[in-house]
Amino acid sequence: MANMAVSRIKREFKEVMRSEEIVQCSIKIELINDSWTELRGEIAGPPDTPYEGGKFILEIKVPETYPFNPPKVRFITKIWHPNISSVTGAICLDILKDNWAAAMTLRTVLLSLQALLAAAEPDDPQDAVVAYQYKDKYPLFLMTAKHWTNVYAGGPHKFTECDLKIQRLKDMGIDEHDARAVLSKENWDLEKATESLFS
Amino acid sequence: MGNCLKINNSDDISLLQGGEISNTQDFAPDQNDPAPIYSELLQPIFFPSPSVRRPVSHLTEEEQVKIAKRIGLIQHLPIGTYDGSKKSRECVICMIDFCVDEAVRYLPCMHIYHVHCIDDWLMRSLTCPSCMEPVDAALLTSYETT
Ligand SMILES: [Zn+2]
Ligand SMILES: [Zn+2]
């Protein structure tokens, strides 16, 4: 890897470790390999959002052209959010694309992602299904996002109704995660979910 | 949807030195059918916009003009030596402290960077990486006022 990328990441790593957000446990970062090309980030779900109480793990890949190009970041923890793919964890955020600037750091990226969790932009979606639900059936979106936060990120809100419907599909031989994804997409309509699974 | 991460894929290989690599002429497996992959790797690479990278032969005429103008603009930005000022101690691109008497480039917003660091950045985007101020707009107004 290019020298500048490595020395930058090393310096940033030290900087982020001393930051206030680390002390408050709102963000975390750790090294994955010795070549400093891959890191793992963690952000806490912001208060007063359906993600509150959850911890979200991120895959961070540093390109050789860093800091002239942005790091490649993806959610490893499954999340229900209009700007994040519920399937792959891919993120739609301007600073990770054309609005990246060489002065931005891993710390600013993590804080921006936290801000994205607090303020979704459904008109610039990464996941069209989630964005549609957000705009059209907001209470259902909130429930689904909290349910996913509970199951995948350790959030506090349990929804027995969701669990029961997932169990019904599991009884039909459907994988739990697939069942959750289909029910979430079909606005928790068990009949429609079954139809889309078996048609 | 789904169009978000694709643009980065082409940047996997190091292209930072692209602009300086001279063409290796003797690597031509078949004269009649020049292998596009090799020629792409050996040519200087330019960035008509931040996420678009192209070897010099693939640039459209419009992009060539754009890049030529950009190089001209960058060369108009003053270079000075770091005077030890405490206001900006490090180059925020490489995050390395400036040494006294080291060559630095001044942007119109008065942010300073190592010459090689900022030139690499400006070839992709004509904005100050610290304050996002467009470098060309500021330059043009400064031409008008002088
Ligand atoms: Zn520098
Ligand atoms: Zn500036």
* Among candidates B1, B13, B129 on the partner chain, residue whose Cβ is nearest the Cβ of A127: B1
* Chain A residues with CB-CB distance to B12 below 8 A: 63-64
For tokens 């969701």, the residue is A162
Per domain, the residue ranges of chain B are 34-143
Taking CA–CA distances from B130, the nearest residue in chain A reads: A103
DSSP secondary structure code for residue B18 in this structure:
G
- Contact between A38 and A61 under an 8 Å Cβ cutoff? The reply is yes
A105 in any annotated domain: yes
A168 in any annotated domain: yes
Residues A188 and A153 in one domain: yes
Q: Please give the residue range of the domain that contains residue A29.
A: 3-118
Q: Which pair of structure tokens corresponds to residue B93?
A: 């691109």
Nearest to B129 by CA among B116, B117, B141, B144: B117
For tokens 């001279």, the residue is B22
- Asked if B20 is an interface residue toward chain A (Cβ–Cβ < 8 A), one would say no
Residues A75 and A109 in one domain: yes
Residues A84 and A174 in one domain: no
CATH of the domain at A7: 3.10.110.10
A123 in any annotated domain: no
Q: Which uninterrupted H or E stretch holds B106? A: strand B103-106
What ligand is nearest to the CA atom of residue B102? 1
Residue B41: the pLDDT is 55
Q: Which of A5, A29, A58, A92 is catalytic?
A: A92
Whole-number Å distance between alpha carbons of B108 and B73: 12
Taking CA–CA distances from A15, the nearest residue in chain B reads: B95
Residues A96 and A167 in one domain: no
Give the residue ranges of chain A where pLDDT is below 50: none
* Chain B residues with CB-CB distance to A104 below 8 A: 129
A54 in any annotated domain: yes
Q: Catalytic: A92?
A: yes
Residue A25: the pLDDT is 76
A67 in any annotated domain: yes
- Asked if B88 is an interface residue toward chain A (Cβ–Cβ < 8 A), one would say no
Whole-number Å distance between alpha carbons of B93 and A62: 15
Residue B29: the pLDDT is 42
* Chain B residues with CB-CB distance to A100 below 8 A: 50
Could you say which of A62, A85, A118 is where a domain stops?
A118
Residues A90 and A7 in one domain: yes
Residues A155 and A190 in one domain: yes
- Contact between B137 and B109 under an 8 Å Cβ cutoff? The reply is no
**What's the gap in Å between B96 CA and the centre of ligand 1?**
6
Residues A69 and A155 in one domain: no
Residue A1: the pLDDT is 53
**What's the gap in Å between A112 CA and the centre of ligand 1?**
24
C-alpha A174 chain-centroid distance: 24
From first to last of its 146 residues, chain B has per-residue pLDDT tens of 434 433 333 333 333 334 433 343 444 344 444 444 555 556 777 887 777 788 888 888 888 888 888 888 899 999 999 988 878 899 999 999 999 999 999 999 999 999 999 999 999 999 999 999 988 765 555 554 44
Please state, for a pLDDT cut of 90, what percent of chain A lies above it. 87
Residue B141: the pLDDT is 57
CB–CB contact B121 A68 (8 Å): yes
Domains identified in chain A, total number: 2
- Contact between A52 and A155 under an 8 Å Cβ cutoff? The reply is yes
Nearest to A86 by CA among A197, A190, A185, A199: A185
CB–CB contact B4 A97 (8 Å): yes
Domain B34-143 belongs to what topology? Herpes Virus-1 (3.30.40)
Residues A91 and A62 in one domain: yes
3-state class (DSSP) for residue A94:
helix
- Contact between A107 and A16 under an 8 Å Cβ cutoff? The reply is yes
**What's the gap in Å between A69 CA and the centre of ligand 2?**
18
Residues A132 and A113 in one domain: no
Residue B68, burial from CB neighbour count under 10 angstroms (0-12, 13-18, 19+): exposed
Q: What pTM did the predictor assign?
A: 0.80
A176 in any annotated domain: yes
Residues A100 and A151 in one domain: no
CB–CB contact A85 B2 (8 Å): yes
B29: Cα within 13 Å, side-chain hemisphere: 7
One-letter amino acid at A155 equals G
Within 10 angstroms of residue B15's Cβ, the number of other Cβ atoms is: 23
Residues A161 and A106 in one domain: no
* Chain B residues with CB-CB distance to A12 below 8 A: 95
Residues A27 and A50 in one domain: yes
Whole-number Å distance between alpha carbons of B50 and A92: 17
What ligand is nearest to the CA atom of residue B105? 1
Residue B25: the pLDDT is 41
A94 in any annotated domain: yes
> What does DSSP say about strands A38-44 and A27-31: parallel, antiparallel, or unpaired?
antiparallel
- Contact between A56 and A24 under an 8 Å Cβ cutoff? The reply is no
Residue B9: the pLDDT is 37
